[in-house]
Amino acid sequence: MEKTVLITGASSGIGCELAKLFAKDGYHLVLVSRKSNQLDAVAGELRQNKAKVTVIPADLSLQGAAEHITEQLEREHITVDVLVNNAGFGAYGAFAELGSKTQLDEIQVNVVALTHLTRLVVPSMIERGSGRILNVASIAAFLPGPFSSIYYASKAFVLSFSEALASELQGTGVTVSVLCPGPTDTNFFRRAQMVPDGRLKMMSADEVARTGYRGLMKGQTVIIPGFLNSLGVALMRLLPKKLLLLIARKVQGK
């Protein structure tokens, strides 16, 4: 029986690579992004490989975007078996200097839309007794981030929310996983207007997606791709908060 996956932020990076993995396993893909041209290009490539793809252009920074997505799913009689909340972005700079709209959009995309879309989809999963949810956070979720304060805080929300929801849904047949990648070779740094340290070792979006996909299918709750990232998170759990803040400022170049 055909299963359907809904992936937000699917036009590039980790979301696009996850779409390829789901396509190989025969899923019907519902791809969401605000970048309609890139989304159509990704959909076209996947269709050439015989994948069934539905495209929903949507800007998750707008209120009501989650409802717009689920309303279109209802009109087309599409049931979501797997939800991947991948869309997100960061902004670099002092909290008092960054534009209010940019920071509020960050919260809307990274927190509000993710939460709302999950709330709209999960009841039917519970009713059917099956479903998977993958929320994409970051290793930034494990420490405060001066000069990217909203981004780090939003990813901490995603991590905490995902772990709590995974516990709530035990025994329902619905699993919740949270993917926490470290620095990844995507458009993230360009959009955040950050210049990554040349010494920073980045994983490819494909590597991160494969690790996330395997963890999701195993029902793993917290997924941290890469040995160095896993080691870093383990150290973060041990270090005092003041030292973490100093490290975070240095990483941000401040």
Instruction: Report d(CA 52, CA 20) in Å as an integer.
Output: 11
- Which pLDDT score is estimated for 167? 98
The predicted model gives 114-140 an average pLDDT of: 98
Q: What is the pLDDT of residues 39-56, one digit of tens each?
A: 999 999 999 989 999 999
Distances (CA, A) of 31 to 40, 101, 131, 186: 9, 26, 18, 18
Mean pLDDT lowest for which of 119-123, 160-164, 191-195, 201-205? 191-195
49 in Cβ contact with 83 (< 8 Å) = no
Q: Where are the beta strands (DSSP E) in 58-100?
A: 82-85
The predicted model gives 147-162 an average pLDDT of: 97
- Residue 7: helix, strand or coil by DSSP? strand
* Count of all residues that appear for the chain in the document: 254
Catalytic-role residue among 27, 92, 151, 152:
151
144 in Cβ contact with 199 (< 8 Å) = no
pLDDT of 208 over the 60 cut: yes
Active site residue 151: yes
Write phi, then psi, for 26 (nearest 5 degrees). 85, 15
> pTM score > 0.85 for this model?
yes
174 CA to centre of own chain: 18
List the one residue out of 95, 139, 96, 144 whose CA is nearest residue 247.
144
- Which pLDDT score is estimated for 176? 98
Q: List, in order of start, the domains of the chain with CATH numbers.
A: 4-252 (3.40.50.720)
